Amino acid sequence: MTNSQLDRLINLEFHKRRNWLSQPVGYYKDKRWYPSKNEKQKCCNNINTLSLKTHCRTKRHIKNLLKQNRLTEIEDEIEHLYELDYPTKHLTTIALLTQEAIEITETL
């Protein structure tokens, strides 16, 4: 996935959440909403629990979330390639995925 493809996904999810076409993933406890383990990002740490659901609709949060999701996807893809019979056949793909992960990490 290129950076601009990831940016497009971020913009799309931002648009959907802003227009209530998509919801942050979470749960209610004592009438308060909390993000799920996967939804929660570093940016959520200093947010008042009353504002968390609104925060999870911000561009900043969605950026962190989708970048983190993509990093997890890349890790899984690389792990999968190493498990194949001839992982050395996939070194170019592994190198490209690694480069993509480095670039994403630099913007987190």
Q: Which residues here bind Zn ion, judged by CB under 5 A?
A: 41, 43-44, 61
Nearer to Zn ion by Cβ, of 59 and 80: the residue is 59
| Least Cβ distance, residue 96 to Zn ion (angstroms) | 29
| Least Cβ distance, residue 95 to Zn ion (angstroms) | 31
Nearer to Zn ion by Cβ, of 67 and 74: the residue is 67
CB 44 within 8 A of CB 55: yes
For 48, which DSSP code? -
Rg (CA), the chain: 17
| Least Cβ distance, residue 61 to Zn ion (angstroms) | 4
Nearer to Zn ion by Cβ, of 52 and 74: the residue is 52
Instruction: Name, in order, each residue with C-beta under 8 angstroms of 63's C-beta and a sequence gap of 6 or more.
Output: 10
| Least Cβ distance, residue 69 to Zn ion (angstroms) | 13
Nearer to Zn ion by Cβ, of 6 and 52: the residue is 52
Distance (Å, whole) CA 26 – CA 49: 12
Q: What is the dihedral of CA 26, 11, 70, 87, to 10 degrees?
A: 150
